[in-house]
Amino acid sequence: MAKVFESITEELQKFIANQQMFFVGTAPLSPTGHVNISPKGLESFQIISPNRVAYLDVTGSGNETSAHLLENGRITFMFCAFEEPPSILRLYGQGKTILPNSPEWDYYYSLFSNIPGTRQIIVANIDRIQTSCGFGVPLYEYQAQRETLVHWANKKGEQGIKEYHQQKNLVSIDGLLTPLSQVHNHK
């Protein structure tokens, strides 16, 4: 049932483009640390090359992915068809966080549409690409992307978002520092 690929083929690119959401999985090295699985939407995913991807990461209640990437770099993306035909695609790799003050920011940010509340970009080099059947995934009908996060970010404003990062996004739930903590500690 599972099939492994060396790169993201044109067919897999089309599959990714047709999905309205994806999931990001990361974990700390500690065996007692918390595995993080985060759903993403808002058309925030880009294929950079057949073995490199990126997503625009908007402000959230935590920053686990970024903390885990700083510690060990491991990341998995999962795309799951909720409409026919059934399929699951996982992209395994090594990722890093690109912050707005990074020399790479302008290049990567130019690949995305502006989403209010953007805090960072996650870039990953993919070393394993695997599909599986998805036969056990229920069927759902897509309605629309939620605008709640966009409205929240617009209401907070740029300064409000920075203050929120300071309060909620500098340390993971397991006490790992995020790249944002380095930026805030140098100011």
Q: pLDDT by residue (tens digit) across 74-132?
A: 999 999 999 999 999 999 999 999 999 999 999 999 999 999 999 999 999 999 999 99
Q: How confident is the model at residue 187 (pLDDT cuts 50, 70, 90)?
A: very low
Q: Any idea where the domains of the chain sit in the sequence? A: 3-185
What's the mean pLDDT in 3-29? 97
Alpha-carbon span 42 to 142, nearest angstrom: 13
Query: Residue 46: is its pLDDT beyond 70?
Result: yes
What residues contact 129, with CB distance under 8 A and at least 6 apart? 4, 5, 6, 7, 8, 12, 89, 90, 91, 92
**What is the residue-averaged pLDDT of the chain?**
95
By three-state DSSP, how is residue 134 classified?
coil
Question: Quick one: fold of 3-185?
Answer: Pnp Oxidase; Chain A (2.30.110)
Report CA torsion sign: 7, 21, 48, 24: negative
Query: Residue 183: is its pLDDT beyond 80?
Result: no
162 Cα distance to chain centroid: 20
